[in-house]
C-alpha cells in the first residue's frame, strides 16, 4: 500500500473511532441532557405516555394514571387535587413535574435502578412497563381536618409524629388543582399555568415548607429553651417590667401580671418585656445556637421543596436587635414545618427527628424497594430541660393564651404567636403544640388573621385549627 492510500486509510480509521467515541459519549454521558431537551418531542411523548404508579395516602391513590384513547395512552389524575397538591405536585407535558411527582419520578415511572430486575423481567416476558408506588405518611382524616379548620384562609398546617418524624398532615392554602396542568389539552394547560402564575395569592406556593414568615411569639419557645439550657428553670424569676431596648427609644410594655414573674408565667402570658430582656441577656450567640439545634438553617422535606428557617447572623445583631429577634421579630423567619419541629422536640425529650413524608416505595409487583426510618437530627436540649419546657407549654394551654386548644382527656402543650409585619396589614397568627395522645406536634399558621391587633391572634385563630387536627388523629 503506497503512502497516500495509507494516509487516507489511517485518517478514515481515526475519524471512524472519533465518531464511535462521540456517539458513545452522547449515548452514555449526555443521555439525560438530550432527553431533557424541550425540543425532543419523541422522548417527551414517550415519557408522558408512561403508566406511572400511584401516590398513596393510606389505601387511597391521590395521584394515579388511567388508560385513555389518545396518543399519550395514559392520563395522570388527582382525586383530591387541591387538598394534596403541595405534596403530590403535578405531572405536566409542558411544565414537567413538581413535589413528589418530581423527586420520585424515576420510581413512579418504573425506571429507577432499584426496579431494574422487575423491569428486566417485564421486558423479557413482553409485559408492559408499569411504575412503582409511593406510599406517603399522611393521614387522610388529619389532612381533611386541617384543610377544613383552615377554612379558606391563607396559611398552612403541619402535623408531625414527634417520635418518628412522619408527617401526618401538610396543608397549604390557597392551593391549586394539578389536574388542570396534567390535562392532555395543552392549550388548556397553558391557560391554567398562566392564570396560576398571575394570581397574586400565589396558589403554587407551598406555605408549609417553602415560605418563611416572622414566627412571632412561637419563637419564645426557642428563647425559653436557651434559658433553660443556661441553667434557669420553669420557676426561675424573670423581670417582666417595661423594657427600654438598649441604645433605642423603643419601650416594650405589657401587663404580665407583675414586675417579677416566673419563666413559666412569662411563657403562659407571652410576656414580651420578659423575653426581650432575657434574649438580650442570653446574647445572640446563645439564641442562634439554640435555634440551629432545633433546625434553623437547615432544609427539611426536600422531596417536596423547602426553605431553611432563619435566625439573623449573631455577629450583625446589637443588643436591641437581639431582644427583638428573641421574641420572633426583627429578621427572624420560620416555616410552619420548623415551628412544628420545635414543639415536636420539646415533646420528644429534646430530640429533633428528621421529618419525612414518604413511608415506602414499592415496585410494580408491590415489593418494597425502599423504606423510611426514624432518624434523630440533633438534640436540641437535655431531657430534663425538655420536661421543663413541656410543663411550661401545658400551662399556656391550661391557663394561658392557648386555652382554645384544650381537649378533654388529652394533655396538650403549646405556644401562641402573633406577628405584625407592617402597620397596614393584619397580623400573622401562629399556634404550635404537642399532644400526648396521639403523639403528634402540630403547627397552624394563618397569614392574614382578620382580628384586632390588641387580641392574641394565635390563640383565637390558630389554636382551634391545631385542636381539630389533634382530634382527627385520635
Cα–Cα–Cα angle for 375, 379, 385, rounded to 5 degrees: 135
In whole angstroms, what is the distance from residue 224 CA to residue 389 CA? 7
Q: What integer pLDDT is reported at residue 19 of this predicted model?
A: 73
Task: Return d(Cα 84, Cα 323) in angstroms, integer.
Answer: 39
As a whole number of angstroms, the distance between CA 390 and CA 350 comes to 10
pTM: 0.88
Q: What is the pLDDT of residue 335?
A: 98
- Residue 72's Cα: distance from chain center in Å? 33
Nearest partner of 86 among 165, 190, 156, judged by Cα: 156
Active-site annotation holder among 105, 175, 205, 217: 217
3-state secondary structure the chain: CCHHHHHHHHHHHHHHHHHHHHHHHHHHCCHHHHHHCCCCHHHHHHHHCCECCCEEECCEEEEEEEECCCCCCEEEECCCHHHHHHHHCCEECCCEECHHHHHCHHHHHCCCHHHHHHHHHHHHHCCCCECCEEEECCCHHHHHHHHHHHCCCCEEEEEEECCCCEEEEEEEECCCCCHHHHCCCHHHHHHHHHHHHHCCCCCCCCCCCCCCECCHHHHHHHHHHHHHHCCCCCCCEEECCCEECCCCCCEECCCCCCCEEEHHHHHHCCCHHHHHHHHHHHCHHHHHHHHHHHCCCCCCCCCCCCCCCECCCHHHCCHHHHHHHHCCCCCCEECHHHHHHHHHHHHCCCEEECCECEEEEECCCCCEEEECCCCEEEECCCHHHHHHHHHHHHHHHHHCCCHHHCECCECEEEEEEEECCCCCCCCEEEEEEEECCCCEEEEEEECCCCCCCCCCHHHHHHHHHHHHHHHHHC
Output the pLDDT for position 44: 64
Q: Is the peptide bond before 438 cis (omega within 30 degrees of 0)?
A: yes
For the segment 302-328, what is each residue's pLDDT rounded down to a tens digit? 999 999 999 999 999 999 999 999 999
Instruction: Report the half-sphere exposure of 306 (CA within 13 A, side-chain side).
Output: 26
Residue 378: the pLDDT is: 97
Q: Is 422 a catalytic residue?
A: no
3-state SS of 159-227 is EEECCCCEEEEEEEECCCCCHHHHCCCHHHHHHHHHHHHHCCCCCCCCCCCCCCECCHHHHHHHHHHHH
Q: How deeply is 95 buried, as exposed, middle or buried, from its count of CB atoms within 10 A (0-12, 13-18, 19+)?
A: middle
Cell numbers linked to 387: 420536661
For residue 21, the model assigns a pLDDT of 73
Q: Average pLDDT across each block of 10 residues of the chain; the chain has 474 residues. List them in order.
A: 70 76 63 52 65 96 94 93 97 95 93 61 58 96 98 96 98 98 96 97 97 96 98 96 94 94 96 97 97 98 96 96 96 97 98 98 91 97 98 96 96 93 79 97 90 67 97 96
pLDDT value at residue 1: 55
CA neighbor of 432 nearest in space, from 386, 463, 388: 463
The answer to whether 208 and 334 are in contact (CB under 8 A) is no
pLDDT at 425: 73
Amino acid at each position: 500500500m503506497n503512502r497516500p492510500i495509507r494516509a487516507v486509510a489511517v485518517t478514515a480509521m481515526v475519524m471512524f473511532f472519533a465518531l464511535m467515541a462521540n456517539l458513545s459519549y452522547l449515548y452514555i454521558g449526555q443521555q439525560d441532557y438530550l432527553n431533557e431537551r424541550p425540543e425532543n418531542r419523541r422522548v417527551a411523548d414517550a415519557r408522558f405516555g408512561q403508566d406511572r404508579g400511584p401516590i398513596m395516602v393510606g389505601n387511597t391513590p391521590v395521584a394515579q394514571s388511567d388508560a385513555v384513547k389518545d396518543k399519550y395512552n395514559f392520563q395522570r389524575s388527582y382525586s383530591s387535587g387541591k387538598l394534596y397538591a403541595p405534596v403530590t405536585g403535578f405531572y405536566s407535558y409542558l411544565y414537567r413535574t413538581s413535589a413528589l411527582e418530581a423527586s420520585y419520578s424515576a420510581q413512579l415511572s418504573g425506571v429507577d435502578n432499584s426496579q431494574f430486575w422487575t423491569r428486566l423481567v417485564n421486558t423479557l416476558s413482553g409485559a408492559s412497563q408499569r411504575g412503582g408506588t409511593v406510599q406517603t405518611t399522611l393521614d387522610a382524616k388529619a389532612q381533611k381536618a386541617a384543610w377544613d379548620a383552615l377554612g379558606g384562609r391563607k396559611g398552612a398546617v403541619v402535623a408531625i409524629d414527634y417520635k418518628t418524624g412522619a408527617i401526618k398532615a401538610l396543608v397549604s392554602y390557597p392551593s391549586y388543582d394539578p389536574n388542570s396542568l396534567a390535562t392532555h389539552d395543552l392549550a388548556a394547560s397553558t391557560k391554567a399555568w398562566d392564570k396560576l402564575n398571575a394570581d397574586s395569592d400565589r396558589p403554587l406556593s407551598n406555605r408549609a415548607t417553602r415560605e418563611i414568615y416572622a414566627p412571632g411569639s412561637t419563637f419564645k419557645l426557642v428563647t425559653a429553651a436557651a434559658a433553660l439550657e443556661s441553667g434557669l428553670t420553669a420557676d426561675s424569676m424573670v423581670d417582666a417590667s417595661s423594657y427600654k431596648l438598649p441604645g433605642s427609644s423603643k419601650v416594650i410594655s405589657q401587663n404580665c401580671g407583675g414586675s417579677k414573674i416566673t419563666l413559666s408565667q412569662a411563657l403562659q402570658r407571652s410576656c414580651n418585656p420578659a423575653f426581650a430582656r432575657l434574649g438580650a441577656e442570653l446574647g445572640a450567640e446563645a439564641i442562634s445556637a439554640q435555634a440551629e439545634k432545633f433546625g434553623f438553617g437547615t432544609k427539611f422535606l426536600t422531596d417536596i421543596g423547602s426553605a431553611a428557617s432563619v435566625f439573623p447572623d449573631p455577629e450583625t445583631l446589637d443588643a436591641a436587635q437581639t431582644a427583638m429577634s428573641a421574641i420572633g421579630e426583627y429578621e427572624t423567619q420560620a416555616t410552619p414545618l420548623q415551628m412544628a419541629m420545635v414543639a415536636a422536640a420539646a415533646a420528644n425529650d429534646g430530640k429533633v427527628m428528621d421529618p419525612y413524608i414518604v413511608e415506602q416505595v414499592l415496585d410494580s409487583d408491590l415489593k418494597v424497594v425502599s423504606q423510611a426510618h426514624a432518624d434523630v437530627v440533633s438534640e436540641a436540649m437535655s431531657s430534663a430541660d425538655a420536661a421543663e419546657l413541656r410543663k411550661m407549654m401545658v400551662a399556656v394551654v391550661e391557663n394561658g393564651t392557648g386555652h382554645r386548644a384544650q381537649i378533654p382527656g388529652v394533655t396538650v402543650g403549646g405556644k401562641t404567636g402573633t406577628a405584625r409585619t407592617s402597620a397596614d396589614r393584619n397580623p400573622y397568627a401562629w399556634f404550635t403544640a404537642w399532644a400526648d395522645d396521639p403523639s403528634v406536634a402540630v403547627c397552624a399558621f394563618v397569614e392574614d388573621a382578620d382580628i384586632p391587633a390588641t387580641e392574641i391572634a394565635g390563640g383565637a385563630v390558630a389554636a382551634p385549627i391545631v385542636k381539630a387536627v389533634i382530634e382527627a388523629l385520635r
